[in-house]
Structure 1
Amino acid sequence: MTKFGDLINVEMPVLIDFYAQWSEEEEETGVVLNDVVAALGDKAKVMKIDIAKNETLVNALKVKANPTFLIYKNGELKWRQSGEQDANTLIAMVQQYV
């Protein structure tokens, strides 16, 4: 199992979606993230973390809402936003750190 620090301590931006599998918005967020991945290609990493399966991490990062998006670069938190986001917003945010 990979440690969270290893995932975020990279030179490229890392967009993380903290989500709940049971959420009605999950399917829509998945489509949005697919668009983000397609637009960014190998310029950034995009990952999803299930809040129910990662409670210790969720508590450590104080994730309170679903979904919550975070962008890290070189292990440093650059941006955080809770609530639904559209693909263009997420792409623009990540591109600031490419």
Structure 2
Amino acid sequence: MTKLQVVDESTFDQAVLRADGPVLVDFWAEWCPPCHQIVRVLEEIGDELAGRLTVVKLNSDENPAVSARYRVMALPTLKVFHRGEEIWSVVGARPKARLLKDLDEALLANV
């Protein structure tokens, strides 16, 4: 299982907004139990959708400017960006099957 790439305020624009394909960003924090629960699911999704979707994580506590820019008010928040635009978002942990279904629909509709 691939570990998720970590992005921060200095790498977010290049790694996410200027990426060649869609990128799912996991906005998380160390103190957030659901954030820790969902990370394994996101690693699996990153492996399963490799080539179609890149999955990265951003610590909201350590990168408050990015979190504020995208109005992240609760954790975990998952957002998919494509061509510099947010195309999908969900707040809270979800089962893997539900996330895969929602992501598939978002990617089909927007990519």
Aligned length: 97
* Alignment partner of 1:84 out of 89, 93, 96: 93
Normalising by structure 2, what TM-score?
0.76
Question: How far apart are residue 84 of structure 1 and its match?
Answer: 1.1
- Please name the residue that 2:80 is paired with: 71
| Structure ranking higher on relative contact order (CA contacts 8 Å, 6+ apart) | 1
For structure 2, which runs of at least 5 residues remain unmatched after alignment? 1-9
Secondary structure class of the residue paired with 2:72: coil
Question: How far apart are residue 5 of structure 1 and its match?
Answer: 2.3
* Alignment partner of 2:41 out of 32, 35, 50: 32
* Alignment partner of 1:57 out of 45, 63, 66: 66
* Counterpart code for 1:91: L
* Alignment partner of 1:43 out of 45, 52, 77: 52
For structure 1, which runs of at least 5 residues remain unmatched after alignment? none
Q: Deviations over 1:7-56 (max 9, x none)?
A: 22223110011011111122211111122112112221101111110011
Normalising by structure 1, what TM-score?
0.85
Q: Give the root-mean-square deviation of aligned CA atoms.
A: 1.6
Check the 8 A contact 1:39/1:91 in 2, yes or no: no
Q: Percent identity?
A: 26
Mean Cα deviation higher: 22-31 or 65-74: 22-31
Q: Aligned equivalents of 1:73 and 1:86: distance in 2?
A: 23
Q: Aligned equivalents of 1:8 and 1:91: distance in 2?
A: 22
Q: Aligned equivalents of 1:42 and 1:14: distance in 2?
A: 11
